[in-house]
């Protein structure tokens, strides 16, 4: 395994992070336990969860993934071996079963305290805001279109003040954001600098061969402000395994169970995936490992959040850390990206 530090800290994390959002829906507790055992054995010390998980989010399964992790900590005593990240759910119809109070002081305190109970721990290493409160282009929306009726009011300072109290209480060590853009990221950083408030150290956004908007303005923000990318969906919901093109997807594959998750399944994304599959096969790699190796090597990456529904997938995904892509492979990848840029933003 390879390791790096969470930016601006001495917290060492594996460059592969274990994603957990299938546990409690596609995966049972026992299967989640087995994945955590294997990951830790292979040097993965960074686990990412959210109160929202498992996905798709429902009232019936709310926070089951955190409970599974907490039960594993209780059973194994491995809490001190894991750097743990979780998130508070953002507002919207999708999360109305959780709360409708956004990132208010009460919501943040409630979310942190309840996560700590479910996770059976006294602290969370990295606590993240799962997506912005304001109306903006997130979750695969390509362009920002201003809504003149948006009633959101700038509350970056208020959120950071409330997080500051939580950090000082010892319940959270560091803070980050997710599904954010350049403007929101810089506003948080500006408030931190001007008012001596906790500084964001990471941003968790989608990043894969099919989804590279981060390479634009966010890459410059990441480099100049030293905020690290935690890349999620590096396999594009499993599309970048090639199994849907080849017709080998199992019955419990995510897109067979949940076809409405079509972000990476459009015609352009499928066409690009076919080209990437050929590059991988021509160079003696699986598409999965090439896709993950590409993300692992990005200069702004702090950790690559991989997920799997079985141990064979998980082992293959973790082993991508040992693959280095040649200049010729990178050139071929970028030629496809140039011809079909960001087919799944």
- Locate tokens 């000082």: which residue? 168
Asked whether 208 and 233 are in contact (CB, 8 A), the reply is: yes
> What does DSSP say about strands 46-48 and 200-206: parallel, antiparallel, or unpaired?
unpaired
Nearest alpha-carbon partner for 283 in 338, 244, 328: 328
Name the active-site residue from 53, 207, 264, 276: 53
Asked whether 15 and 301 are in contact (CB, 8 A), the reply is: yes
The DSSP annotation for 140-159 comes to: T--S----TT------HHHH
Domain ranges of the chain: 3-241+287-324
- pLDDT reported for residue 113: 98
Cis preceding linkage at 171, omega within 30: no
- pLDDT reported for residue 246: 82
Q: Which helix (H) or strand (E) holds 101?
A: none
Nearest alpha-carbon partner for 285 in 341, 337, 330, 336: 330
Which tens digit of pLDDT belongs to each residue from 138-149? 998 999 999 888
| Helical residues (DSSP H) of the chain, grouped into ranges | 29-41, 64-76, 105-119, 156-168, 182-195, 217-225, 243-246, 254-257, 267-282, 287-296, 311-319, 327-339
Q: Is the pTM of this model over 0.85?
A: yes
- pLDDT reported for residue 244: 87
Helix axes 311-319, 287-296, angle to 10 degrees: 50
- pLDDT reported for residue 262: 80
CATH architecture of 3-241+287-324: Alpha-Beta Barrel (3.20)
- pLDDT reported for residue 255: 72
Clarify whether 62 is annotated catalytic.
Answer: no
- pLDDT reported for residue 180: 97
Give the chain's residues under pLDDT 50.
none
- pLDDT reported for residue 186: 98
């Amino acid at each position: 395994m390879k390791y790096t530090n969470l930016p601006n800290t001495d917290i060492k994390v594996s460059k592969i992070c274990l994603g957990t959002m299938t546990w409690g829906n596609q995966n049972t507790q026992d299967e989640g336990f087995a994945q955590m055992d294997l990951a830790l054995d292979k040097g993965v010390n960074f686990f990412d969860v959210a109160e929202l998980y498992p996905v798709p989010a429902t009232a019936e399964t709310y926070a089951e993934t955190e409970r599974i992790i907490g039960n594993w900590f209780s059973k194994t005593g491995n809490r001190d071996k894991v750097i743990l990240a979780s998130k508070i759910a953002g507002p919207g119809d999708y999360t109305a079963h959780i709360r409708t109070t956004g990132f208010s002081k009460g919501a943040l305190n409630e979310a942190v305290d309840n996560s700590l109970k479910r996770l059976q721990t006294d602290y969370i290493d990295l606590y993240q805001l799962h997506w912005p409160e304001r109306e903006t282009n997130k979750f695969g929306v390509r362009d920002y279109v201003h809504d003149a009726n948006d009633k959101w009011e700038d509350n970056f300072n208020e959120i950071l003040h409330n997080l500051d109290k939580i950090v000082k209480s010892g319940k959270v060590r560091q803070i980050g954001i997710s599904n954010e853009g350049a403007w929101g990221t810089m506003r948080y950083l500006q408030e931190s600098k001007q008012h001596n408030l906790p500084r964001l150290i990471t941003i968790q956004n989608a990043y894969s061969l099919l989804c590279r908007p981060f390479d634009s303005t966010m890459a410059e923000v990441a480099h100049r402000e030293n905020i690290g990318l935690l890349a999620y969906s590096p396999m594009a919901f499993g599309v970048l395994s090639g199994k849907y093109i080849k017709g080998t997807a199992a019955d419990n594959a995510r897109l067979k169970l949940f076809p409405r998750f079509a972000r990476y399944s459009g015609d352009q994304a499928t066409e690009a995936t076919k080209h990437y599959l050929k590059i991988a096969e021509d160079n003696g790699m699986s598409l999965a490992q090439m896709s993950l190796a590409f993300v692992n090597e990005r200069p702004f990456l702090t950790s690559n959040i991989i997920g799997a529904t079985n141990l064979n997938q998980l082992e293959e995904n973790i082993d991508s850390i040992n693959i280095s892509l040649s200049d010729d492979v990178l050139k071929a990848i970028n030629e496809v990206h140039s011809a079909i840029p960001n087919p799944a933003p």
